[in-house]
Amino acid sequence: MKLENMKVIITGGAMGIGLATAKRLLAENAIVTIWDINQKELDNCNLLFKDYLGRIFLHNCDVSDNGKIHEMVQVALKEMGGIDILINNAGYVAGGSLIDTDNDKWDKTIKINLNAIVYTTKEILPILLKQDRGHIVNLSSASSYLGVPDLAVYTATKWAVWGFTESMRFEIINSGKKNVGISSIHPSYLATGMFEGAKLGFFGNLIVPQVKDHDVIAKAIVNGALKKGKYAVRRPRSLRLSMILRGVLPDKLFQYMLIIMGVHKSMSNWKGR
C-alpha cells in the first residue's frame, strides 16, 4: 500500500507507539487524525505538528464510549475527506494479581483494549469495504502467545484482539473485497512507557530482548502491516519461537521453559504508566 494522501485514524495517538506511528505516516505524506483522552498530550502534539497544518487533526476521544466513536468518525470523514486506514492503538494496563485488584480496573482494561477495537472496526470497516480500499491495524501483544501473571486481564484482551483480527480477516475475504486488509501487531515488553520495569529473566531476555523504543513498533506498523500487508507482525521477531515451541513441546515442558525464561516473574518490577 502506498501511504501518500492516505487518510488515517490513530487511537491513543498522542504518545508512545501512536505518536511514533503518526510521525512516520506524516513523513510518508499521509493525512492523520489522532484520537486521545489525554488533553495535555494532545496540546503537546499541537505544538509538535505545527508545520503539518491541514494534514493532521487532533481530537479528545474516549474510545470506550461507542457514541463518541461514532461522532468522531463523522468528524474525521468531514475533516480528512474520507478514511483509508484505522490504527487501533489505544491501550490500558493495570498490573497486579486478579484477586487483589479492583474490578473497575479490569472493566476499564476490557473496554479500552477490546471493546473499543470492536466499536471502531464496526464503524469504519463498512467505509473501507464500500470503497474497496484500506487497512485496519490492531495492537495486540506478545502476551497473546502465552499467559503472563499479574497481567491476566490485559493478556486475555490481547489474546482476544488477535482472534478478533483473524476472524475479521476471513469476514473481509468472504465479502469479496480484495483491497481491504487487517493486521495485528505483537510487541514484547518495551523498555519505556506503559511497560517500563517489566522484563524477562536473563535467559528470556537473550531470546526475546526488550523493544528499545516506540519507533521500533511504529516501523513495524508502517512498513510491515501497511506497506507489506503482513497479517501478524512480531517484535522482536524471535517471538515466533513461542508459537513453534508450544506446538512441538509437551505442555508441561513448555510451561517449565516459560519459568526458566522468567515469564512468571516478568511483572515483578513493573512501574509503567
pLDDT digits (tens, 9 = 90+) for 236-268: 999 999 999 999 999 999 999 999 999 999 999
- pLDDT tens digits, 211-235: 999 999 999 999 999 999 999 999 9
Does the reported pTM lie above 0.85?
A: yes
Q: How far apart are CA 260 and CA 257, in angstroms?
A: 5
Mind telling me the catalytic residues? 154
- Confidence grade of residue 272 (pLDDT, cut at 50, 70, 90): confident
3-state secondary structure string, 84-102? CEEEECCCCCCCCCCCCCC
Name the percent of the chain lying above pLDDT 90: 96
- pLDDT, average across residues 29-36: 98
Sketch out the chain's domains with CATH numbers. Answer: 7-265 (3.40.50.720)
Taking only the tens place, the pLDDT of each residue in 86-101 is 999 999 999 999 999 9
> What's the Cα-to-Cα distance from 216 to each of 90, 147, 179, 211, 232, rounded to whole Å?
17, 24, 26, 7, 15
Q: Which of 151, 64, 49 is nearest to 115 (CA)?
A: 64
The predicted model gives 185-196 an average pLDDT of 93
